[in-house]
């Protein structure tokens, strides 16, 4: 039901966000690259016949115009909606968005940014707080064998068994952050190779599910909202994903997180999360009966090409993954703007 009704539309949502953001590629203005993606995403989402609700977005209500948590999206938000649609007949959908995942990458013209979202029926996505999350992603063959509670060394041995390749042949993506100093050293000591990324751990997590991506594992701490979006894709792909919220600022070392551990735990409790140390797997973070994921490359990446502009047109590459049809579709689209003179083949 969800896929047949809005499958194609969510591709257009991420495409429009990616095109808008890509116009700001390399301009050094991360906030603008982000803002235009948000606006494009909202505009296209508000044409969809659904009763959508943002469960993971860019902040709370008072931080509008970002897509804020709790914001309603879809055709019903139009002022004249009553004239042509009955909200009771529309499907209720929860949406997790990151209109520009990798704002720095876009601003500085680097690889790996994308516009991304995940959707499910109401209640089907974990409404993660704006905290950090310890993450472990690995291919389907290692699902349930590797474990976030085990050491990196042990997980690499398990991964090597599951993938039938030596630890030395494994590549682990880790975000290049001071908090990962010891982790990086441990992975290197174990014999595996480390690919450090400055941003963009959603792409890195999903790459683990694709043989040939050159990425076998993601370890370390990134943002929790991105963790839920990654989990949605990994749930559909059958890959391994575990996440554990990080509420202790001393563990994160950099970045914004509440003032102290006690305060953060209290905030989690207010949100109904009583066990701050709980480890969630992909099926718990994206628990809906139907889960869809869509991403469109802004700058070139491992999974998708970035937006390519030509005279009065653009070409985009997206990835749409569905738990309903068990498909991962790469969608290549030519966008014809006004007064198009030619269509660029490649
Ligand atoms: O790179 C990222 C930034 O996302 P965005 O702000 O949408 O461009 C994400 O992939 C990371 O998951 C995460 O936000 C990052 O790890 C946050 O950590 P830090 O930069 O150390 O505060
Ligand atoms: Mn992000
Ligand atoms: Mn973002």
Q: What is the pLDDT along the chain (346 residues), one digit of tens a residue?
A: 577 778 889 999 999 999 999 999 999 999 999 999 999 999 999 999 999 999 998 766 555 567 888 999 999 888 888 787 888 888 899 999 999 999 999 999 999 999 999 999 999 999 998 899 999 999 999 999 999 999 999 999 999 999 999 999 999 999 999 999 999 999 999 999 999 999 999 999 999 999 999 999 999 999 999 999 999 999 999 999 999 999 998 898 866 677 789 999 999 999 999 999 999 999 999 999 999 999 999 999 999 999 999 988 999 999 999 999 999 999 999 999 987 788 877 7
226 marked as part of a ligand binding site: yes
ipTM reported for the complex surpasses 0.85: yes
| Residue 277: exposure state from Cβ atoms within 10 A (0-12, 13-18, ≥19) | exposed
Do 52 and 73 meet the contact criterion of CB atoms below 8 Å apart?
Answer: yes
Ligand nearest to the CA of 201: 1
Q: Whose CA is nearest to atom 3 of ligand 1?
A: 102
Residues 6+ apart with CB under 8 A from 212: none
Which atom of ligand 1 is the closest one to the Cα of 177? 21
Which atom of ligand 1 is the closest one to the Cα of 199? 1
Residues 6+ apart with CB under 8 A from 277: 244
Which atom of ligand 1 is the closest one to the Cα of 226? 12
Q: Is 254 in the pocket of ligand 1 (CB under 6 A)?
A: yes
Peptide bond into 65 cis (omega under 30): yes
CA distance to 75, 228, 295, per residue, from 2 (Å) = 16, 19, 17
250 marked as part of a ligand binding site: no
Position 63 scores a pLDDT of 55
Spacing, Cα 104 to ligand 1 middle (Å): 9
Task: Name the DSSP class of 179.
Answer: G
Position 65 scores a pLDDT of 61
């Amino acid at each position: 039901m969800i896929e047949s009704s809005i499958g194609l539309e969510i591709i257009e949502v991420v495409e429009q966000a990616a095109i808008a953001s890509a116009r700001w590629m390399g301009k050094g203005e991360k906030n603008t690259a982000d803002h235009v993606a948000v606006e494009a995403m909202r505009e296209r989402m508000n044409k969809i016949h659904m009763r959508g609700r943002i469960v993971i977005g860019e902040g709370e209500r008072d931080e509008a115009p970002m897509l804020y948590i709790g914001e309603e999206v879809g055709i019903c938000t139009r002022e004249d909606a009553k004239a042509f649609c009955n909200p009771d007949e529309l499907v209720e959908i929860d949406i997790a968005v990151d209109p520009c995942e990798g704002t720095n990458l876009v601003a500085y013209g680097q690889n790996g940014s994308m516009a991304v979202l995940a959707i499910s029926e109401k209640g089907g996505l974990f409404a993660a707080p704006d905290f950090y999350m310890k993450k472990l992603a690995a291919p389907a063959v290692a699902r349930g064998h590797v474990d976030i509670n085990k050491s990196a060394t042990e997980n690499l041995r398990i991964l090597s068994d599951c993938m039938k390749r030596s630890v030395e042949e494994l590549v682990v993506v880790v975000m290049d952050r001071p908090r990962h100093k010891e982790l990086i050293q441990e992975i290197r000591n174990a014999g595996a190779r480390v690919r450090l990324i400055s941003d963009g751990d959603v792409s890195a997590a999903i790459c683990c599910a694709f043989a040939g991506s050159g990425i076998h594992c993601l370890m370390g701490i990134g943002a929790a909202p991105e963790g839920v979006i990654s989990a949605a894709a990994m749930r559909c792909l059958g890959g391994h994903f575990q996440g554990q919220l990080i509420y202790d600022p001393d563990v994160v070392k950099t970045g914004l997180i509440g003032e102290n551990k006690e305060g953060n735990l209290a905030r989690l409790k207010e949100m109904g999360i009583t066990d701050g140390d709980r480890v969630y797997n992909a099926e718990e973070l994206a628990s809906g009966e139907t889960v869809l994921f869509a991403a469109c490359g802004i700058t070139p990446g491992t999974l998708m090409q970035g937006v390519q502009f030509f005279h009065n047109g653009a070409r985009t590459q997206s990835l749409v993954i569905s738990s309903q049809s068990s498909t991962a579709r790469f969608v290549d689209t030519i966008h014809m703007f006004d007064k198009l003179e030619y269509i660029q083949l490649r």
